[in-house]
Structures are given as structure tokens and as C-alpha cells.
Amino acid sequence: MITAADKTLIHTCNLEVGTFYFYKNFVVSEINEGVVFNFAKAEKLFELCNCYYGKTTPFVYLAHRINSYSFVPTDHFKSTALFPNLKGYGVIVYNLTQERIAALEKSFMNKPMRVFDNFQQAIIWVDSLITSD
């Protein structure tokens, strides 16, 4: 049984669409300014998640929205289906517009989703999801 998410950074990956920080049980994304992020552009990210988490290691995805970018929310249905071990999707926002977009995004998620205004609260939530099994 997992008692807490390991906060040791395993790997940082700089891709064309953004930077991704892989930890033992969660990944943090920082998508680049102006990117239109969709399922096709996430292909390399999916490969990396499969490499680090496979189909059995529980993990949480945290979208750290430090930049302004667009995404296709309906792609969440396709992407979450790839990872039965994905425990949740968190979004860290810094303004009201981002918060409203994230609230709308919830309707396209079939996994637990929470919106946070700081990174520390998101990590506490990761712990709660990872240790709930």
C-alpha cells in the first residue's frame, strides 16, 4: 500500500509543447505559451507516461497553468482511456479566467478532478488519491 506520493523528481522532459516533470506517482505539465494542445500533440507525453507508469502504477496528472494556451477538452475522454491507473486530474490556476475554464473542463473528465490556486494544495490532493487504494 502506498502511504504518500514520492515527491522526488525522477525526470524533466522538455518537449515542443511544454515541460513535463515526472515523479513516482504524479506528473506536472507546464504547457508553453500559445500552444494549441490536443490529443495528437500529446502523443509523446502519452509515451512518457506509459514508460514511467505503465498500466498499473497509480498516478495523478497536474496541469500547472503558468502560461496561456488552448486545448481540446473532449480529448480528455480519449486520453484518460489510455491509462486505467490515472487516479485524477488536477489543475493549478492563477486567475479567474483559468478557474472558469477549468470548471468547464470538469464536464469532460471521467476521473476525479480538482482545481487549485496553489501547488501545495494540489500535492496534498495527490497524496489523498494515491493513498486511497
Taking the domains of the chain in order of start, what are their residue ranges? 9-130
Q: What topology is assigned to 9-130 in CATH?
A: Transcription Regulator spoIIAA (3.30.750)
pLDDT, tens digit, 9 for 90 and up, residues 97-117: 999 989 888 888 889 999 999
pLDDT, tens digit, 9 for 90 and up, residues 35-79: 999 888 999 999 999 999 999 999 999 999 999 998 887 776 678
Q: Give this prediction's pTM.
A: 0.91
Which of 61, 57, 55 lies closest to 21, judged by CA?
A: 61
Which of 68, 74, 72, 76 lies closest to 46, judged by CA?
A: 76
State the CB neighbour count (10 A cutoff) for residue 77. Answer: 12
